Amino acid sequence: MRSRYFLALPILAILTSFSLQVLAADSPPKGLSSEQRGYWFLTQKTYLPPDFTQDIFDKVWTKWPETLRSEAEKATPEERRKLAFARYGLTPRPEDPTKPLQYVVDSKGNWTMNCFACHGGKVAGKVWPGLPNSHYALATLTEETRSLKFEQGKPLGRMDFGSIFVPLGATNGTTNAVNFGVALMAFRDKDLNYHDDRLPPRMVHHDMDAPAWWHFARKKQLYIDGFAEKGHRGLLQFTMVRSNGPEKFKEWEADYRDVYAYISSLKPPQYPHPIDQELAARGETAFRRVCAECHGTYGKNSSYPELLVGIEDIKTDRARLDALTPKHRDSYGQSWFAEHGAKNNINDPGGYVAPPLDGIWASAPYFHNGSVPTIWHVLRPKQRPVVWRRDEDGYDQELAGLQVETFVTLPKEAIADWQKRTYFDTRAFGKSAAGHDFPLQLTDDEARAVLEYLKTL
């Protein structure tokens, strides 16, 4: 009897040290706060299968068009990495510039997309986690890495296959993210078991600009139509790929309580340039008269009404509203993500919620589809450009937003798909820049003052 115990102990020790090692790669260092753990999980732990390897990323320049390819060929590895980051809308992590904010890179060199792919970007050249990534070129990155994997006989990933059925995004900085959710949810029952005998759902493809995460704390209901009540479980829907079953979601629930705490803790960046305070004060008066009823008040005794505005009043692009049917919303509402119906789920919202405007200077382009490049163009509907293209880091202080070139139609040079994606064409389906005409109640002078005021939020 005794000798058996003696044998069992070392085996137990080996087993526990093994499982501790596995855990060590998966769990944050001790002593972090819940918020800090949330950031750790997002940047260090993978919840999805990998997208590509370091080796593929380092050689993807061989798939670039001329003259960029020759430029990359002559460049140092460091310069080449910068070119690749710029081409695909990736940024260095603030605390570790050798790694991208938008992908988890593990010790084996696997790159796996994380939430910051869409929810972490830069403004005026400064990286800010929680800022919508207005540069992300998911479709171009997927096409070019896939082409290289194909050439090298490497296995293809979920995006490589997924993009054959669901377009990833037609304009850089926006994605068809809502339909990724629709496509994946259609195969799940309310307990999130996967059923491969179901038919793929009907989808209305359209691209969206991700919302700023620093508004999360002010909201009760999420998404542009406010259909889903906030909760940590719902955050896990973005990890819903076939290989993740109900037991995975339960296992990760604790991680996502921390992610919830992290997102709740975020603050907007401050406007980095001088502000005309006198003009801004006049702007506040006009803002209170025309805008506050929907967008709330700021500063001392701030308030946020979280007001749902009917589509016939807001008149911005309605593709997003129609793309999610009452049935889609209800299947989310009945599922584990929404605590089987215990959460407030609005199946037929009929419009869009006026978002909070804190940090609005930083989160250009505007509206849920990212169709309007500056605040000035939000305020002056008739001046909105038909087609526009932004540059890499420029910030337009006068119009408050992206530095853009504007066009009356798509230029003839935009032939390849990757080139077309660098232009925002408001005539395309789901990309209309119309609507939200309320600022017409402001004179041009008042609009200039309101713009100055918005920089202070």
Range 342-370 burial, b when 16+ CB lie within 10 A, else e = ebebbeebebbbbbbbbbbbbbbbbbbbb
Q: How far is the CB of 14 from ligand HEC (least distance, A)?
A: 35
d(Cα 148, Cα 163) in Å, to the nearest integer? 16
Binding to ligand HEC (CB under 6 A) within 346-385 occurs at 352, 354-355, 357, 360, 363, 366-368, 375, 378
CB of 8 to ligand HEC, least distance (A): 41
Does residue number 90 form part of the binding site for ligand HEC (CB under 6 A)? no
Length of the chain as a residue count: 457
Site membership for ligand HEC, residue 140 (CB under 6 A): no
Cα–Cα distance measured from residue 338 to residue 332, given in angstroms and rounded to the nearest whole number:
7
| 328 interacts with ligand HEC by CB under 6 A | no
Residue of the chain from 238, 249, 252, 395 that contacts ligand HEC (CB under 6 A): 238
Residue with tokens 């078991």: 193
Binding status of residue 432 toward ligand HEC by CB under 6 A: no
Query: Cα(154)–Cα(197) distance, rounded to whole angstroms?
Result: 29
| Token couple for 150 | 């194909």
Q: Give 120: exposed, middle or buried? Use CB within 10 Å, 0-12, 13-18, 19+.
A: buried
Give the long-range contacts of residues 149-155, CB within 8 A, separation 24 or more. 149/52, 149/56, 152/56, 154/53, 154/56
219 binds ligand HEC, rule: CB under 6 A: yes
Q: What character string, x for contact with ligand HEC (CB under 6 A) and - otherwise, covers 144-183?
A: -------------------------------x-xx-----
Does 222 sit near ligand HEC (CB under 6 A)? yes
Q: Distance (Å, rounded) from C-alpha 353 to C-alpha 308?
A: 4
Say whether residue 223 binds ligand HEC (CB under 6 A). yes
Which residue, 192 or 450, has its beta carbon nearer to ligand HEC? 450
The minimum distance between CB 248 and ligand HEC, in angstroms, equals: 13
Joined tokens for residue 37 = 């753990």
Site string for ligand HEC, 269-308 (x = CB under 6 A): ---------------------xx-xxx-------------
* Tokens standing for residue 54: 């370091």
284: CB partners within 8 A, 6+ apart: 453
Binding mask 241-270 for ligand HEC (x = CB under 6 A): ------------------x-----------
Member of 206, 215, 233, 384 binding ligand HEC (CB under 6 A): 215
Interacting residues with ligand HEC (CB under 6 A): 115, 117-119, 175, 177-178, 208, 210-211, 215-216, 219, 222-224, 235, 238-239, 259, 290-291, 293-295, 309, 314, 316, 352, 354-355, 357, 360, 363, 366-368, 375, 378, 436, 438-439, 442, 450
